[in-house]
Each structure stands twice: as structure tokens, then as C-alpha cells.
Amino acid sequence: MAKTVGITLCGGGVRGLSQIGVLHILEKAGISPDYVSGSSIGAIIGAFYADGFSPEEILEISKQSTMIKIFTPSLKFQGISNLNYLESLLKKHLRAGTFEELKKKFFVAATNLNTGKLDIFNTGELTKPVMASSAVPLIFEPQQINGYKYVDASILNNMPVEPVRPHVDILIGVYVHSHDAMQDPEKFSTWREVFDRAVSLSLWEKSKHQLEQCDFVIQPKKSAHHGLFNKKDDEALFKIGAEETEKHIPEILKALNHG
């Protein structure tokens, strides 16, 4: 009997684009997860993947879209930018309008500011939960769904493995940050470097429990060389994710074929 595979895609700003390369190598090896969950950028990539887009098609959409356009000045004071560009991007390309129309089972996590808890979306309208999952506080406006205001899932859970774990035999987690020690005395000389490092360390502490629930963790650490919100280099990030995933293919295939 074939084993069911799930994958959880994490948040990570621009560096999260390396997860497209992860999906590319998995698909190339014949490993096509049936269940997908995502947080922030992982929710955006996951939505396209669950909608039947190939990793190559997702990469092409990413290359054609300009991340800077997402940072449209907001007229409100709750966030610096709104997510109008992301909304138009999703509505332009996604074929599915609801979770039910997707080709794969898909779960999106978002932080509920009103209740202080993590909410998981897997039914109904698709675009708004994906936007909510990506709404980084102070940078993007909170998104309102059913009377509640939501922000980036990574505040509470950067790797939402919980909704997928009960449904699959093998769970693959993707984690794009690095918490390795850095000895370079020139490091952290800018506010951006300090911010990136602080976020990475915080996410590591919050993600340990989720990582332990995965059967395989693919961690393209070189993604951390790219800032969270720096201008993206799609091809380089795609390659980083692909190269790291290649190392895990033999053991994942062995687990799939065993028994």
C-alpha cells in the first residue's frame, strides 16, 4: 500500500523562495506530497503547489512578480504596507477560489490577534487566509476574516505541522533559517543584519517542537545568506533549496519503499 506524504513549508520572507527548489527535486524524484501546510511565504508557495502548479511554474511566477510592488504604501496606520499586490497576484494566477477546489489538501496557518491563538484554515475562500498568513506585523496591515484580525502565522507557529501530521505516513518539514554560531566580528553592523539574526534565533526556539514531529527535515541553511526582505534572487534561492534536497532523496525514497 502506498504511503501518504505530507510537507510543511515554513515562513522566511524572501529566503523562503528556496522551498520552490525543494519541491522541484522532490517532484523530480517522484515524491509528490498529498497534504501541504504553510506559514507566510510557505503559505503562498503552498497555495500554488496545492493548486496544481509545478515548481517550475511557481518559480516563473515569482520571477515575473516584483517583490517591491508588494510594499505599496498604506493609508492606514496599522501597518506600513498593504497586501493589494499580493492579492492581485494570487487572484490573477490561482485557478482555485476555495480550498475545496485545490488538487491537494492544503492548510494555512495565521495568528489571530483577537484570541491570541493560531488558527488553521482549510475550507472556504482561499486568498484571504493566505494573505493573513503573510501579514508581517508593522510591515503589513492585519487581514480581517470573519470579524477577527490576523497577522503572520510565524508569530506563533512558523512550521504548522500539526494539521498534516495525523493524515500522513511520512512528513517532510522545510526550515530555511540558520541558528549556527557566527564568529565574524564584522557581522551585525547594520540594523538589517541584527533584525534578520534576531528573527532567525527566535524562530528556531519556536520551531523545535514542530521539527521533532517531522520524519525528515530539509534545511537549506544557505538561504540565511539572503535577508528576509532583501531584493530576491529567485534562481540562486531555487538552487540552494534544490541542492539541499538532493542530499535527502535516498533516505526519503527508502522510507517510502520500506514495508
Residue 66 has pLDDT above 80, yes or no: no
- The pLDDT, as a whole number, for residue 217 is 96
In sequence order, what are the residues at sequence separation of 6 or more whose Cβ sits closer than 8 angstroms to the Cβ of residue 209?
A: none
What is the rounded CA–CA span in Å between residue 183 and residue 161? 33
Residue 243 has pLDDT above 90, yes or no: yes
- The pLDDT, as a whole number, for residue 75 is 47
- The pLDDT, as a whole number, for residue 64 is 83
Closest to 10 measured CA to CA, from 199, 143, 139, 203: 203
Residue 68 has pLDDT above 50, yes or no: no
The number of beta carbons lying within 10 Å of the beta carbon of residue 69 is: 12
Average pLDDT value for residue range 174-182: 73
How far from chain centre, in Å, is Cα 48?
11
- The pLDDT, as a whole number, for residue 77 is 47
pLDDT bucket at 49, cuts 50 / 70 / 90: very high
Give the range among 38-52, 185-199, 224-238 with minimum mean pLDDT: 185-199
The C-alpha torsion from 141 through 142 and 143 to 144, rounded to 10°, is -130
Residue 225 has pLDDT above 80, yes or no: no
What is the rounded CA–CA span in Å between residue 255 and residue 259? 8
178 vs 140, residue with greater confidence: 140
75 burial class (0-12, 13-18, 19+ CB within 10 angstroms)? exposed
**For 200-216, what is each residue's pLDDT tens digit?**
666 767 778 899 999 99
pLDDT bucket at 73, cuts 50 / 70 / 90: very low
Q: Confirm if 118 and 109 have CB atoms less than 8 A apart.
A: yes
With a pLDDT cut of 90, the percent of the chain lying above it is 62
- The pLDDT, as a whole number, for residue 191 is 55
- The pLDDT, as a whole number, for residue 110 is 97
Average pLDDT value for residue range 120-143: 93
What is the rounded CA–CA span in Å between residue 232 and residue 71? 14
- The pLDDT, as a whole number, for residue 160 is 96
DSSP state of 74: P
What is the rounded CA–CA span in Å between residue 33 and residue 22? 12
How many CA atoms within 13 Å lie on the side-chain side of 87? 13
The dihedrals phi and psi of 184, each to the nearest 5 degrees, come to: -60, 115
What is the rounded CA–CA span in Å between residue 124 and residue 142? 19
| Terminal-residue alpha carbon distance, the chain | 9
Residue 12 has pLDDT above 80, yes or no: yes
- The pLDDT, as a whole number, for residue 13 is 81
How many CA atoms within 13 Å lie on the side-chain side of 32? 13
- The pLDDT, as a whole number, for residue 162 is 97
Task: Give the chain's mean pLDDT.
Answer: 87
The number of beta carbons lying within 10 Å of the beta carbon of residue 3 is: 13
The number of beta carbons lying within 10 Å of the beta carbon of residue 114 is: 10
Average pLDDT value for residue range 190-208: 68
Give the range among 41-45, 57-61, 79-83, 199-203 with minimum mean pLDDT: 79-83
What is the rounded CA–CA span in Å between residue 11 and residue 160? 10
